[in-house]
Chains A and B, each alone.
Chain A
Amino acid sequence: MPSLKDLRNRIRSVRSTQKITSAMKVVAASRLRRAVEQVEAARPYGQRMERVLASLAGRMAGLPGAPPLLVGTGKEETHLLVVATSDRGLAGGFNASILRETRRRIRELLPAGRTVMVLTIGRKGRDGLRRDYGRLIHDSLTEVGRRQVSFDEARDIAQRILVLYQAGRFDVATIIYNRFRSAMTQIVTAQQLIPFAATSGEEVDPAVGGAIYEFEPSEEEILSELLPKNLAVQIYTALLENAASEQGARMTAMDNATRNAGEMIDRLTLNYNRTRQAAITKELIEIISGAEAL
């Protein structure tokens, strides 16, 4: 039986934890709103870029002069996994789900005789993979999107990947991140970045996609300018979705934590009152029985 003093201390410490979790929840909620706004603001560019690329890539895919970013290196030997996580924890299953998917992919690729290279974004990704697959980690970037994800950061990461690709270090690149559905649900998504997989034109308006375009300069030149840009856009989108997912997951997790702390406080308070009452009763009994003995 814990003493009254112990109980009082417990209650106080749980209450201060609850204060922290509920503050974190509020912060996550406001960041989430901003992150979602940013995701939505970025959407038009991605959609239109896809539309332009769809009308270009379709006709280039079969040609011999097509850029390697579009058609690949013709091999599938080395895979680059770009693992986008967060720098901070306390976000529920956010990082764990990404890491689980990453491990699953690595376990699938390695026995098949493929080489795997990992580029982690975010401290949690690096820490989570270092123990099991440390030698696969090519490099890890941290502090990405600390305040807010910017397109410049996405462009830098894209540039990084391009440098590796041009040096022939890998054949296929995939980014793993959490797609934001709602504050409650985030979906782990693995999206192939290189070679560029054109979404099979389902979203393309037939009147637009089917038109015969004139190109200035040539199709090849436009494509070779657009594909790297599109890589940056895809990474940007992934980072934004990830940022929103992180805040959403954190909000939900902190909401749960706050509620659990509340329940715990109730239980402890009940316990405390009971113990106090028991102590009072005990003292009374002692006094009464002492008086009777006289």
Chain B
Amino acid sequence: MAVGFELVTPERLLVSKVVVMVVVPGTEGNFGVLEGHAPFISTIRPGMIDIYGENQSELSERIFVIGGVAQVTEGHCTVLADEAVSPDTLDRGSIETDLRIVEGNLPSLREQVARAADTDRERLLIELHRLEHEQTVLQAKLQAVGEITR
């Protein structure tokens, strides 16, 4: 009656324990993994992973993850997340400020990219990618905060 659940980020192995059920936010909808789930690989969207450690009706832990992939095999569920944070650390105010700053910087950077050439352009493009990535992350966090408080 158990699933070996692992949550890994590039920096480290975050969670590794035996649980009853996990609910993972797949790209095409949430899916729950119980023992005996068919082999399955899915990308995930930003959202909450719900861990049911003791029994199926009791939520024991929630973790917010940003993108990645989940692999389900016989008795195991491995989630490779780009980033994972505890929902308690999400603070609406600071996320909104960060998002405003990022979004404020985007237009001028885009303009610079359009004007630059060669390696300068490449360097700026990377900046742009980084900012856009940050933007999606922040938006996802904001949405998650909305879900918690609801």
Interface residues of A (CB under 8 A from B): 38, 41-42, 44-45, 48-49, 51-52, 55-56, 138-139, 151-152, 154-156, 159-160, 163-164, 207-208, 211-217, 221-222, 225-226, 229, 232-233, 236
Contact = CB atoms under 8 A, between A and B. Distances in A.
Nearest to B82: A229
Interface stretch (B33-41, B47-55, B57-65, B100-108): B33-41
Contacts of A155: 130, 133
B93 interface: no
Contacts of B73: 208, 211
Interface of B: 6, 8-13, 26-28, 38-43, 68-69, 71, 73-74, 78, 80, 82, 119, 122-123, 125-126, 129-130, 133
A216 B74 contact: no
B79 to A, nearest CB: 9
Contacts of B11: 38, 41-42, 45, 151
B13 A214 contact: no
A207 B80 CA distance: 20
A212 B130 CA distance: 36
Contacts of B68: 229
Nearest to A153: B130
Given A42-B10, A56-B41, A214-B40, A152 B130 contact: yes
B133 to A, nearest CB: 8
Contacts of B119: 138-139
5 contacts: A44-B6, A48-B71, A48-B78, A51-B71, A217-B42
A166 to B, nearest CB: 11
Contact of B8 (A45, A226, A229): A45
A213 B129 contact: no
Given A42-B12, A48-B71, A55 B43 contact: no
A156 B80 contact: no
A236 B12 CA distance: 12
Given A139-B119, A225-B69, A213 B126 contact: no
B17 to A, nearest CB: 14
A236 B125 contact: no
Contact of B39 (A51, A152, A212, A226): A212
A217 B27 contact: yes
Given A41-B13, A160-B126, A163-B122, A52 B69 contact: yes
Nearest to A164: B122
Contact of A159 (B41, B43, B129): B129
A222 to B, nearest CB: 6
B12 A41 contact: yes
